[in-house]
Amino acid sequence: MKMKKNIAVLMGGRSLEREISIKSGQRVSNALRNLGYDVTKLDIDQSIIDNLSSGRFDLAYIALHGKDGEDGTIQEILEVLEIPYTGPGVYPNALSFNKIISKQIFNSLEIPVPDFYFLNASSFRELGASKLLPYIVKKLGLPLVVKPSAQGSALGIKLVEKKEDLSNAIISALGYNKKVILEKYIEGIELAVSIIGKEKPEVLPVVEIVPENNFFDFESRSKVGKTEYFIPARIQDDEMKKVMSTALSVHKALKCTNLSRVDIIMDKKDRIPYVLELNTSPGMTDISLLPMAAKEAGMSFEELVDKIVKMSIR
């Protein structure tokens, strides 16, 4: 008789995205049980190494978002413990979580990203970098986007329309991270491109995102009814090919394996797909983008979870 695989679902953690992670983890756990796997749900706390090392797990399913889950921390722990895990490895997680470094990599490969500058807390508070703000506004224009350099789910992100609101937006973003990005606002079509697969990554149908308030912030991402979705996205065939090709280039540039989600905005005027960021642990809730794309591709949620598991077990 074939032995059941024993899977640890890692969820919760210390991130500000804890609540979303728990929802993702619970939904994944239910799917795994329905598929016949033995499942142990593990929150990420000081006992995580003891729990992982004593459990004889065949796989760790990472349903974590943000700090510890998408910055390479949990992946490094699992590498040391020699436990296979879902999603990309340490390197792509560490790179993608640092939006400044990942943007610089994309720039070096001539992958379009919105123009940006970054400031850190010490330069802003101690070196008078606030005096640079008028110059930055002149270069990027208004409105512009202010975001922490390392957060997920659009936490701490602000759309600044008036120059007098910029300092407060930066101070707010610095509450999430010691570095902040000031990014040119691109008016366009927001798109999410999910990629799944190991040797031959498959680009799933592209999701078009239309937030209620015209800006895809944390509330729009996490609450039912705040955003409208169109799958496949309402763009031309040649534009679709360009978007999918760009997303795949990003996936490969950061050496992702198994899965990722690339967030893109297509400029309404020049139709260029600008890369906003790459996510290594996409949400798995009932309003998350990866499951939506998989459903459009003909995969049920359980089939999606099973596919992720099977490609991740060594």
How do the domains of the chain map onto residue ranges?
Answer: 6-87, 95-111+187-312, 116-184
- Flag whether pLDDT at 222 surpasses 50: no
With 0-12 / 13-18 / 19 or more C-beta atoms within 10 angstroms meaning exposed / middle / buried, residue 80 is exposed
Which pLDDT band holds residue 129 (cuts at 50, 70, 90)?
A: confident
pLDDT (tens digit, 9 = 90+) per residue, 54-73?
Answer: 889 999 999 999 989 999 99
Euclidean distance between CA atoms 147 and 104, whole angstroms: 16
6-87 maps to which CATH number? 3.40.50.20
Give the model's pLDDT for residue 204: 99
The CA-atom distances, in angstroms, between 83 and each of 55, 190, 208 are 10, 36, 36
Helices (H), 141-180: 166-174
Domain 116-184 class in CATH: alpha beta
- Flag whether pLDDT at 254 surpasses 70: yes
**CATH 3.30.470.20 at 95-111+187-312, yes or no:** yes
Q: Which residues pair with 4 in a beta bridge?
A: none
Kindly state the percentage of the chain with pLDDT values over 70: 94
Beta strands 158-160; 188-197: pairing state: unpaired
pLDDT (tens digit, 9 = 90+) per residue, 160-193?
Answer: 999 999 989 998 999 888 999 999 999 999 999 9
Euclidean distance between CA atoms 67 and 73, whole angstroms: 8
Smallest Cα–Cα separation from 252: which of 91, 58, 129, 118? 91
Smallest Cα–Cα separation from 51: which of 26, 67, 74? 74
Coil vs helix vs strand at 46 = coil
Close Cβ partners of 114 (under 8 Å, ≥ 6 residues apart): 145, 183, 184, 185, 186, 265, 274, 276
Euclidean distance between CA atoms 136 and 91, whole angstroms: 31
- Flag whether pLDDT at 29 surpasses 50: yes
Helices (H), 6-109: 18-34, 48-54, 73-81, 90-97, 99-108
- Flag whether pLDDT at 219 surpasses 60: no
Euclidean distance between CA atoms 264 and 291, whole angstroms: 18
